[in-house]
Amino acid sequence: MLRLLGSGRSHPKSSGLSVLVKQMWGTLRSHPLRLERWCSQGPCVQRKRNDALHAFWKGPASVPGGARQSPINIRWKDSVYDPRLKPLRVSYDSAACLYVWNTGYLFQVEFDDSAEGSGISGGPLENHYRLKQFHFHWGAVNEWGSEHTVDDHVYPAELHLVHWNAVKYQNYTEAVMGEDGLAVVGVFLKLGAHHEALQKLVAVLPDIKHKDARAALGPFQPSCLLPACQDYWTYPGSLTTPPLSESVTWIIHKKPTEVAQDQH
């Protein structure tokens, strides 16, 4: 497995949704996916901001002055093979899936995190982390959508599975602001074969057209969204939306998951 040394720069991103989601969520097309920030070996600084464009960026912004801001441009020359890094252990309980909801920014699938049954351990993690939710980031066009990039290559979309450290913290809210509080598994999506499991998510989108709308999803196994190859990059970073807390251990799969044109 590869550990990243240092970080690249974040990249601006076009706003909007893919063809299918545009038809369902037309009102969201004017929202950018995230604030543009510049990341380097030094502290990240805020470059541009328009409070009227994104609900997550309403009100005063609190931008940490540390050097762990995400996303980054993953550079092969900055990654080093670490034999101490073992495969990530993934154990998700499909029955823990609660519902999918429209945050006004993206659709998010929530899980019951009150027990140890669904989560990850191993890899770069010292503790067990419970799955809280997963969501997707996408762009207006296929060529520009992922949060992270690999040697400046951008994927059409990126999946984030968000977990919290259930050993060190009492709940997700505490973990967000705490050291080693979160672990986010990132998966790039690229155009290719039809993904049957993802179709179950797409099918409920018409039921959550409006902000804060929820729809039951029933049992759903998120591990089916992960690529077969377990190789990953890992680095210490931050949330990519407010509060931008530098509490995240990022685990980015090297291989993307394929989805059909009408699924991303």
142 band by pLDDT with thresholds 50, 70 and 90 = low
Higher-pLDDT residue of 196 and 56 is: 196
Tokens of 243: 């509060």
Nearest residue to 102 via CA among 196, 18, 24, 46: 24
The pLDDT, as a whole number, for residue 105 is 81
Mean pLDDT (the chain) is 78
Higher-pLDDT residue of 29 and 127 is: 127
3-class SS of residue 187: strand
Tokens of 96: 């823990």
Q: Is the pLDDT of residue 48 over 60?
A: no
Q: Other CB atoms closer than 10 Å to residue 194's CB: what's the count?
A: 12
Q: Which helix (H) or strand (E) holds 20?
A: helix 19-24
110 band by pLDDT with thresholds 50, 70 and 90 = very high
Q: Which of 89-103, 104-118, 168-182 has the lowest mean pLDDT?
A: 104-118
60 band by pLDDT with thresholds 50, 70 and 90 = very low
In the chain, % of residues over pLDDT 70: 73
3-class SS of residue 76: helix
Higher-pLDDT residue of 31 and 206 is: 206
Each residue's pLDDT tens digit, 223-258: 999 999 999 999 999 999 888 999 999 999 999 998
Tokens of 1: 């497995």
Contact 211, 102 (CB under 8 A): yes
CA-derived radius of gyration, the chain: 17
Q: Is the pLDDT of residue 140 over 70?
A: no
The pLDDT, as a whole number, for residue 7 is 46
Domains and CATH numbers, the chain: 2-263 (3.10.200.10)
Q: Which of 7-21, 103-117, 208-222, 240-254 has the lowest mean pLDDT?
A: 7-21
List all residues 6 or more positions away from 113 whose beta carbon is below 8 Å from its beta carbon. Answer: 96, 130, 131, 132, 164, 166, 172
35 band by pLDDT with thresholds 50, 70 and 90 = very low
Q: Are strands 73-74 and 107-111 parallel, antiparallel or unpaired?
A: unpaired
- Mean pLDDT, residues 185-212: 87
Each residue's pLDDT tens digit, 61-93: 455 556 889 999 999 998 999 999 999 999 999
Each residue's pLDDT tens digit, 146-171: 999 999 999 999 999 999 999 999 99
